[in-house]
């Protein structure tokens, strides 16, 4: 019996008539001979190419000058030039499902670790190179977008009341690196409900609904101290950068440029639905508590407003203050402990 590594039974198609002939391919060093009835053709091995392996299906051997042979998949074909040189590992995975599943899990784990650890590090590095003025311009444009789209309406809070809160906010943030750029804006929004959020560059938006919910100025200042922490640490811009990297990566992999464009034009919505990492939230909380203590404001005020916000439900839940600030129970406990250290 002839070694299967040097010969293979096949069907020969000459490319002229739609009829296959039983044939055999024989390899002798760098030469391959085709025998099909009274037809004998000799080819240099390098002039042939074998189609990709797909499971256990047969494969085609393309012949120089036209024509091809269809052969069952076996060792002989592996001795010939492959149409795709990476086909070996791919085919191996197709025939080893458990290994393929393991590979998928490993790749998913690597991507997840990259998202958790590598992406934030890259965003921090890029953030250091983004001018604060450029960040502020972006924040102003987003604020204009909110107003133009009527997501935010003019505040109905008494102007004198607003001035008092603005003065208190200015005193609270005096001396901070970003203080000259921090600006407090009041807006009414039934959609957002009791809410506050920081835009890139220093603007902090406080809704009328949150002002009405709070039982004291200290509770409002506690929320503003937290948002000032996000501004001081440039968390909003970092969040945008990380989302932009993800969008660009997805667009690159899927070749969907529209997805990347949609991600950039959807920045305002991304900011409203932002879910900061636990690390960033803790950082902003610690900043707020330290700032409140510096100005003789008890962190109990922060715990109090968080408890009130936790009881709020309704149509604005999607954009609620707490939906973007997870671990509410833990955060309340930390604020209480800061008020009454052991």
**178 shares a domain with 295:** yes
C-alpha to C-alpha distance for 148 and 58, rounded to whole angstroms: 62
Q: Are residues 48 and 117 in the same domain?
A: no
Banded pLDDT at 327 (limits 50, 70, 90): confident
- Per-residue pLDDT tens over the stretch 88-100: 565 555 556 665 5
Q: Long-range contacts made by residues 5-8, C-beta under 8 angstroms, separation at least 24?
A: 5/75, 5/76, 5/79, 6/76, 6/79, 7/76, 8/71, 8/72, 8/74, 8/76, 8/77
Residues 6+ apart with CB under 8 A from 205: 143, 146, 152, 185, 186, 187, 195, 196, 197, 198, 199
Paired tokens of 219: 């509770």
* 27, pLDDT greater than 70: yes
Instruction: Determine, yes or no, domain membership for 152.
Output: yes
Instruction: Please check whether residues 81 and 202 belong to one and the same domain.
Output: no
Residues 326 and 211 in one domain: yes
Mark whether 107 and 158 lie in a shared domain: no
Q: Is residue 91 part of a domain?
A: no
- On whether residue 191 sits in a domain, the answer given is yes
Cα(223)–Cα(176) distance, integer angstroms: 17
Same domain, 74 and 189: no
Contact 324, 292 (CB under 8 A): no
pLDDT greater than 90 at residue 310: no
Q: What is the CATH number of the domain that holds 46?
A: 2.30.29
Between CA 36 and CA 10 the distance in angstroms is 9
Which stretch of DSSP H or E encloses residue 39?
strand 39-44
pTM over 0.75: no
For residue 316, pLDDT beyond 60? no
* Residue 158: inside a domain: yes
**Reported confidence tier of residue 6, pLDDT bands at 50, 70, 90:** confident
Q: For residue 20, is pLDDT > 80?
A: yes
Give CA separation, 111 vs 85, 119, 150, in Å. 26, 10, 38
Res 87 pLDDT > 60 = no
Give how many domains the chain has, as a whole number: 3
- Do 102 and 76 sit in the same domain of this protein? no
Check pLDDT > 50 for residue 207.
Answer: yes
Residue 307's pLDDT band (boundaries 50, 70, 90)? Answer: very high
Co-location of 275 and 189 in the same domain: yes
- What single-letter DSSP state applies at residue 117? I
Query: Are 40 and 167 in the same domain?
Result: no
Residues 133-139, mean pLDDT to the nearest whole number:
91
Regarding whether 276 and 290 lie in a shared domain, the answer is yes
Q: 32-58, pLDDT tens digit by residue?
A: 999 999 999 999 999 999 988 776 788
> Between 58 and 247, whose confidence is greater?
58
Q: Which residue segment(s) compose the domain that 293 sits in?
A: 132-339
At residue 221, the pLDDT reads 98
Do 118 and 256 lie in a common domain?
no
- Specify the pLDDT at position 52: 85
Which of 85, 78, 86, 32 has its CA nearest to residue 59?
78
157: in domain:
yes
Is residue 282 one of the residues assigned to a domain?
Answer: yes
Residue 331 inside a domain? The answer is: yes
In a domain, 23, yes or no: yes
Binned at pLDDT 50, 70 and 90, residue 11 comes out as very high
* 291 and 183 together in one domain: yes
């Amino acid at each position: 019996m002839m070694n299967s590594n040097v010969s293979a039974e096949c069907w020969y198609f000459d490319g002229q008539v739609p009829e296959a002939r039983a044939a055999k391919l024989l390899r002798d060093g760098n030469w391959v001979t085709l025998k099909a009835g009274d037809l004998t053709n000799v080819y240099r091995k390098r002039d042939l190419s074998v189609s990709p392996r797909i499971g256990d299906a047969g494969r085609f051997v393309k012949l120089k000058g036209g024509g091809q042979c269809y052969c069952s998949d076996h060792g002989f074909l592996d001795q010939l030039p492959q149409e795709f040189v990476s086909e070996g590992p791919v085919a191996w995975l197709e025939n080893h499902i458990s290994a393929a599943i393991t590979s998928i899990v490993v790749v998913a784990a690597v991507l997840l670790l990259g998202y958790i650890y590598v992406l934030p590090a890259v965003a921090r590095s890029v953030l250091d190179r983004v001018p604060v003025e450029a960040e502020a311009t972006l924040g102003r444009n987003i604020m204009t977008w909110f107003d133009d789209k009527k997501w935010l309406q003019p505040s109905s809070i008494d102007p004198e009341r607003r001035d008092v809160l603005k003065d208190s906010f200015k005193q609270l943030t005096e001396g901070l690196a970003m203080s000259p750029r921090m600006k407090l804006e009041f807006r009414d929004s039934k959609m957002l409900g009791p809410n506050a959020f920081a835009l890139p560059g220093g603007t902090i938006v406080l809704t009328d609904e949150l002002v009405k919910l709070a039982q004291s100025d200290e509770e409002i200042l506690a929320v503003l101290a937290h948002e000032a922490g996000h501004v001081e640490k440039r968390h909003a811009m970092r969040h945008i950068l990380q989302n932009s990297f993800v969008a660009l990566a997805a667009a690159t992999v899927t070749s969907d440029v529209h997805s990347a464009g949609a991600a950039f034009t959807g920045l305002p919505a991304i900011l409203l639905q932002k879910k900061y990492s636990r690390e960033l939230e803790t950082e902003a909380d610690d900043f707020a508590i330290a700032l409140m203590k510096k100005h003789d404001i008890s962190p109990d005020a922060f715990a109090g407003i968080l408890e009130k916000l936790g009881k709020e439900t309704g149509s604005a839940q999607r954009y609620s203050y707490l939906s973007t600030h997870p671990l509410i129970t833990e955060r309340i406990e930390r604020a209480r402990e800061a008020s009454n250290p052991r």
